[in-house]
Structure 1
Amino acid sequence: MNSVTNDPAGGTVRRPVIGICARTAPVTLQGSELTVSLALQSHVAFLSQAGCTPLLLPLLPGAQDLVGRLDGLLVPGGPDLDPVLYGQDAHPATRAMTPDADRTELALLRAALDARLPVLAICRGMQLLNVAHGGTLHQHLSDITGHDGHRPPAAAFTLGRHPLKLRPGSGIAGVLDEAEPQTACHHHQGVDRLGAGLTATGWAGDGTVEAVEVTGHPFAVGVQWECGQTPDRRLHQALARAAGHPKN
């Protein structure tokens, strides 16, 4: 599916449609307490500026049926995944779970992968990508790493910065294309056992997996850092380019 916009030359331009998995959150608007479905505005703006039409996808039953109308999927950050999905009990630090939405999002992601749609999975999205392939998660990384650098303790939202080691020749290395990339992360969970059919292609210095790719897929990339919380648009642009190509 492509959306259509007017071309300055008088014709039409078909813009790839990229689904963005919605998050549900309470907000205060004009003095009223509301619960809304939302997406980070930078995801919307970066994809639009890259020539795509972003489409917000509320995580309701049957969301996976929309895959045939999409040209790509972005799975953003969000709350902790229900550990039942990967066969564990909840750690005391695991919180804000949304089990029904988790299962809907998992079905949507699997349908997108089966359809060979380009996928960009960010932070929680990368963790979901790992779980979708049978992998497991460390539920509280500081228990493993001995530090809180991936989610710095602070009153305000603060990004952790870490040098990033990328696998030479990987898709993510080609997208970032720089000698000394860094993460900009905010997460307390991460990949434990890597799922079958995934290749780890990026790591922090402490060994935390920071990027994965679906083996044999044209473009299905997961990154653990907060892509969208910085001005860096390269991954959104890569998703847009992949979505403009015919699926095979």
Structure 2
Amino acid sequence: MKFHPPLIGITTSSQRQTASFCVRREYVDAVRLAGGLPMLLTPGEANLATILEWVDGIVFSGGGDIDPAAYNGAAHPSIYNVDAERDRFELSLAQLALETDIPILGICRGLEILVVASGGKLVTHLPDEFGETTVHRAEQASPCEHNVQITPNSRLATIIGPGEAKIVSWHHQAASTIPPSWRLTAQASDGVIEALEHQHHPWALALQWHPELSLQDTRQQQIFRTFVTAAAHRNAAFSQKAG
């Protein structure tokens, strides 16, 4: 049987001004470096079940804010780049994917999508509730770095090790509640939820930070390697059944 790299779907955003879809190339680079074959998933696709039949894993990527109406939140002047079509697509895809065994990795907005899809809520603007003792982005267009504390005996701890980890942060929102079936696996010193993992799904991990922006860090790179390996195992198991 010929080996095929696991096919990893990566969600994208819409650029209406240029009539294009896009995603930062670091997501693609990270998946390739980990041995996966990236495929871009565009908002508006209606055949969600077909997507899940084809891909072996899904990365819910970062981007603009989710419409607060999706989680009964309040409007805020800091909210930007709301895309109703992307919201509908990703929330529906997340809900469906969580009912399968497909490996899932949520990054920044991707964590927020998984939280909202699971019935959780978001902090609309972190400085309003957590202050600025820990800076989670330098400004809207610039990331920054800070440490997070990894929860012992969690999947994340087995991947990158327990204790503190330095991460690249670039967000102004975060989960305000932990949905049922999810557990906290990393937190910033100011109390912001930085990572969650699903307690029943075979492989569903959500990070508020951006591991794709620090692939020179072997701990962050290991997140993608472990994710792609899980997708490869699922691909192999499916191929054996099909054969």
TM-score by length of 1: 0.87
**1:82 corresponds to 2:72:** no
Give the percent of matched residue pairs that are identical in Structure 1 and Structure 2.
30
Bigger mean CA offset, 130-139 vs 17-26: 17-26
Task: Decide which moves more: 112-121 or 202-211.
Answer: 112-121
Check if 1:21 corresponds to 2:11: yes
Alignment-derived partner of residue 76 in structure 2: 91
Out of 185, 207, 226, the position equivalent to 2:169 is 185
Structure 1: where are the runs of 5+ without partners? 1-10, 27-32
Q: TM-score, length-normalised on structure 2?
A: 0.88
Superposition RMSD on alpha carbons, in Å?
1.9
Match of 2:151 among 163, 167, 189: 167
Contact 1:162-1:184 at 8 Å conserved across structures: yes
Could you give the per-residue CA deviations for residues 62-111 of structure 1, whole angstroms, max 9, x where no partner exists?
14131111110000101000111111231122121111210111111122
1:150 partnered with 2:132: no
Matched, 1:40 2:40: no
Which residue in the other structure is 2:225 paired with?
237
Q: Give secondary structure in 2 for the equivalent of 1:181.
A: strand
Tell whether 2:43 aligns with 1:59: yes
**CA positional deviation for 1:116:** 1.4
Query: For 1:219 and 1:70, how far apart are their aligned partners in 2?
Result: 15
Match 1:213 to one of 197, 200, 204: 197
Residue 114 of structure 2 corresponds to residue 129 of structure 1:
yes
Structure holding more helix per residue: 2
By how many angstroms is 1:49 displaced?
Answer: 2.5
Q: Tell me which structure has the larger Cα radius of gyration.
A: 1
CA displacement at 1:56 relative to structure 2: 0.5
Ranges in structure 2 where 5+ consecutive residues have no aligned partner: 239-243
How far off its partner does 1:159 sit? 2.2
